[in-house]
Structure 1
Amino acid sequence: MYADHTHKRDIPHKVRFNRTLDRILTKAANRAQMQHATYLHELIEWAVENGAIEALSKEGTESSAA
């Protein structure tokens, strides 16, 4: 692998890329899930306040009855 073995690094890397990437990806996924949940919560609150859910439920019963 090395033309000259003195070029080989004797000290192992202190950064473990797999652990580091796993930790970064886990944090990013948790953050994305929280942001997604917050967005959905705000959307549902808006829909309740503006009567959109009631309108949808009324439309759903009318269309299924027809």
Structure 2
Amino acid sequence: FCLPTRADFSSIASLEAMATGLPVVVGGTAGIPELIEDERTGLLLEPGNLGQLADALEELVRHPERRLAM
């Protein structure tokens, strides 16, 4: 699940994705870092960093074992 938002203060969508067992790739805006444990339950990104977003998605596509562990 990918939600690279710049302004989401309590992402219900991210919580719902996690509840279904999906890893989440989200912007590290206010409130989100308290919900997602970076590198364990998902990946937190710098807001607006498109290179980091591309790298994170590629990492999860290329390494399904890592994706499934999240």
TM-score normalised per structure 1: 0.27
Q: Which has the higher helix share?
A: 1
Larger gyration radius, structure 1 or structure 2: 1
More RCO (CA 8 Å, sep 6+): 2
TM-score normalised per structure 2: 0.25
